[in-house]
Amino acid sequence: MSTASGSEISQDSVAAAEATEMGLRTRHMLTLEFGRSGDFDNPRREWRRMFSELFGTFALVLVAAGGGMLAAQGKISLAAAVVAPGLMVASIILFMGAVSGAHLNPAVSLAFALRGDFPWWRVPGYIVMQLAGASLAALFLRLVLGDIEHLGATLPGPGYSNGQALAMEIVLTTLLVSVILGTASAAQNVGAIAAVGVGGYIALAGLWSAPISGTSMNPARSFGPAFVGGDFTSYWVYVVGPIVGALIAVGFAYILRGSGGDAISRAGGSGVLDPGLMQAAKRYAEKIDSGQAVPNGVPTPAEAAAVEEQMEQEKAKKPEGPSDPGTQAK
């Protein structure tokens, strides 16, 4: 039994060593090309971040709440209504992720800040813009479609209590933020990997959980229809649930990948508007490439060498069998 356990440990260590040698540099270097460091590095254009979050959250809530309104009237299917927000988020990440990080969600901004990948002083501004974008989307829907179907508000489904909806929102948001933090660990939240991962998860979650809680996972998405419609029934569920879920996800991220806060992760969580942030990320990636730095949760070259040495020792201890099966038969 101890031999099997040692073998499993060795296999895990070998996989980690291979990731260090082959996948790490590629995974970090590819994501550095997202974002522009010329025009966007100007700190006087901080408003670009704010507009990005306003515009992005407007688009998300427009699709999410609008789809909910039309689905409730039977104009579109429930599947279409829950898949559309995922596709919209994927699109936003691809075309605006490098500007602001495409948070679109107060719970996500909070999670990035807790990980050390996003400055705390930016959090209030982001949340204000997210709430404003959501409210503008709900107002637009009210003007175009009328005050119907609670303006697409997220509410516990028929037969489900606030407690059941709260539990569902906590679990769903934990998984959502885990996906976001995982794809953003190397600034990939501004590329195709995050677009597919985050957008795909939002669609998947909605396909099975929408009848229970509405699959909000986002205090801003629930705030817009509630604010414009003047009905905050059960809104606390969609504030407490996502925030608790985000806190749990940050804890899980620490267990899985260690602490955040390196230059590349900050570039991913913040966009690239900070002066010198992209340059710092590039320098950090060069140190990774040369072996002078190792990201959190990845074995150092010395640790990888120790693993190889352990493997050689284990091979030396194993008795060599006959090379020719026919010889053993004789």
pLDDT tens column, 230-277: 999 999 999 999 999 999 999 999 998 877 766 666 666 666 545 455
- Token pair for residue 134? 């959501």
The whole-angstrom distance between residue 243's C-alpha and the CA centroid of its chain comes to 14
Q: Tens digit of pLDDT for each residue in 197-241?
A: 999 999 999 999 999 999 999 999 999 999 999 999 999 999 999
- Give, in degrees to the nearest 5, the angle at Cα 159 between 199 and 226: 55
Q: Coil, strand, or helix at residue 197?
A: helix
Q: Domains, the chain, ranges and CATH?
A: 24-287 (1.20.1080.10)
Q: What pLDDT was estimated at residue 280?
A: 59
- The predicted-structure confidence for 48-105, as pLDDT tens digits, reads as follows 899 999 999 999 999 999 999 999 999 999 999 999 999 999 999 988 888 888 999 9
Structure-token pair, residue 270: 């913040």
Both tokens assigned to 60 = 């998300």
Among the listed residues 295, 313, 296, the one whose alpha carbon sits nearest the alpha carbon of residue 305 = 313
Burial per residue of 86-112, b for 16 or more beta-carbon CB atoms within 10 angstroms, e otherwise: bebbbbbbbebbbbbbbbbbbbbbbbb
CA separation, residue 294 to residues 12, 19, 291 (Å): 18, 12, 7
Which are the contacts of 131, defined by CB distance < 8 A and separation ≥ 6?
Answer: 57, 106, 220, 223, 224, 227
Query: How many CA atoms lie less than 13 Å away from 107 in the CB half-sphere?
Result: 32
